[in-house]
Amino acid sequence: MIIGLTGTNGSGKTVTADHLKAKGFLFHSLSDEIRLELERQGIAMNRENLIETGNRLRTEYGSSVLAERVKAKLRPDQNYVIDSIRNPAEVEALRATGNFQLLHLDAPVEVRYDRVVERGGERKPSSREEFVEQEQRELESDDPTRQQLRACYKLADEAVVNDTTIAALKARVDKIVSRWLMEAKRPGWDEYFMRIARIAALRSNCMKRKVAAVIVRDRRIISTGYNGTPRGVKNCNEGGCPRCNMLADSGTNLGECLCSHAEENAIVQSAYHGISVKAATIYSTYSPCLICTKMIINSGIREVVFSQEYPLGDVAMGLLQEAGIELRRLQLD
């Protein structure tokens, strides 16, 4: 779950972020990316420079640049709270990650002004008029690269008016976040096993194509395999397969390839360890070739789920269907 915070100055974003950090959420701020830029350039760290540098970065690198920089630091198995979202392009970039929710925080201007004055610091406005003037520049602009808080408000999934106590704010946030976490999506079984196959493919030592297969029975992985040269033979990426090392055209000189295929390795690994694959499902990042298809049929596997189509797979597909093997394609992002 990634929770984004947007809101006016003094609305309680920092309190909310700290509260979620105490709950185990990891924290990032888009403003920190601007601070890093100011630090690199030796520019004073004040409100005006933060705003101006943020706008410049969006102009030079695109309106979502700050969100993209933070996205590169995120892991899919962690909960995050991300502060200082001020442009709708940033919302769109973060929403593309999947489980993203945007929380809008606000409070009456009199309340927020008093809070900002009380906390002091170099960002403290000299008057209420200056505070309001600064805020108006942040709320909206015809320039898509500048701060557009009002446009972000409209994209928020929930809003909280923080006009009373910190305890009340935390209670409202807890109620919203608890509901979001309970509603958060998790991958279904097919996606789960196919994504594991994608990770396994990273272990492939083949020069031409990285493929992996996962064999599953009763929702338990019983074997995995990826393509590469046989056990005890020099790895393909170390010069072990002449055909791959010469970068042969796809579909040519296949009889000279020394690499075992992913499905083949997964089935052979099961046999090596004495584990039956009868009635199992095999998840493969590519549809099987003809040789692997015959192994799948004769091993007793009853279902094949694949992500990408193998270029020479028409005959193999037909053979699987004739043998009564269930065949499904699962395309992931």
Which residues are tagged catalytic? Answer: 263
The answer to whether 30 touches 90, Cβ cutoff 8 Å, is yes
**DSSP-derived 3-state class of residue 22:** helix
130: phi > 0 → left, psi -120 to 50 → alpha, else beta; which?
A: alpha
CA neighbor of 259 nearest in space, from 287, 282, 235: 235
Give the pairing of strands 2-7 and 100-106.
parallel
Length in residues, the chain: 333
* Phi, psi for residue 256 in degrees, rounded to 5: -100, 0
Q: Is 76 exposed, middle or buried (0-12, 13-18, 19+ CB in 10 A)?
A: exposed
The answer to whether 64 touches 93, Cβ cutoff 8 Å, is yes
The answer to whether 185 touches 132, Cβ cutoff 8 Å, is no
